[in-house]
Structure 1
Amino acid sequence: MKSTLSLFILAGGLALTGAGCVTTMEPQGSPPASQADVGYLREELRRLQVRLEASDAEIGRLQGEMISTRSAEPGYASAAQVQSMQTQLDDLQRQIRALDAARVQDKKEIYEDISKKVASLIRTSTPSSPSRSPRSGTQSGINHVVQSGESLSRIASAYGVKMSILVEANHLKSPDSIYAGQTLFIPD
């Protein structure tokens, strides 16, 4: 706006310099120096108009950029939207907790089922008539012949005794030192 006003003032000044009072004593033509000044001012006015048009174009481009940037920005969520999202998150957390609890319960049930099946398999793999013989004069129990693939922990759980009791009763150096065909004493 200021640029336009200054252009009008400059143009008005140019018009007035060429429209001076003419008397009979003065020569009718303008002196050569004043015509050069008018030409210079006209050229300056033309340059200012070009700069003004370029500035207007740049302002328009920047305004368009600003509008497109503002429209591309994500808006802020309202309080109702935030509350709705919080409710959804709470529901998801409850569902996750319920699924975790169910998973833990399923894991327990599967473990118990597998333990029962392993114990049953061990019982069925034992000889049909285990020989009862006391290992020492004071202990009573049964003998078990270790089958291929059996471990001391399986045997202990099948007979319902602790592994440490089997290790001690059979004078084993390690629970891993049993082998297929070995006879183990299972105390009562």
Structure 2
Amino acid sequence: MKSIYVLLPLAAALLAASGCTTMVESGDDVPLATRAEVEYLRGELRRLNDRQSASESEFGRFQGEMMSAQAGQSAFASAAQVQSLQTQLEDLQRQIRALDAARVQDKKEIYDDLSKKIATILKTSAPVQTSRPSRPRSGSQSGIEHVVQPGESLSKIAAAYGVRMNVLVEENGLSSPDNIRVGQKLFIPD
């Protein structure tokens, strides 16, 4: 009996090797409906294999995203951190507003200070009005004396006093309107 069990697989192997086929393999005696069902099942098996492959790749992608999210978890701020940053931002905005207000006040103070200094300079550079101690050269008896300041010209002095420039040249015995110097005293007739 043992020999039958040993011979059966050997016989099947010999038949298979000799090119013999079963009725299912040859498809001759298999009903057409069964062949269609087998093809359908093979198609379903391929689709299931494809879906499994897609699911495995999707699972791998999700797993990678989860691992990167866990690794980069510190990149996301907690609500407490967001609140802290918001508070710091509000503090900075208050400081900027305070600095802007201080800057406006500083500008006003600088403007006022400069205005006072300019007024002082204008007062000191204004023509000195004194009576002329000596008598006028052309016979005019009344007038004032002006000391030439830096940056003044005879035309500016004449315009300031409302006198013609040639009158100033005559009254002060100038050879040319360009020949005046800082500190020089000029007689300005009335």
Report TM bin, short chain: 0.3 to 0.5
TM-score of the superposed pair, with normalisation by structure 1: 0.44
TM-score of the superposed pair, with normalisation by structure 2: 0.43
Instruction: Choose 1 or 2 for highest CA Rg.
Output: 2
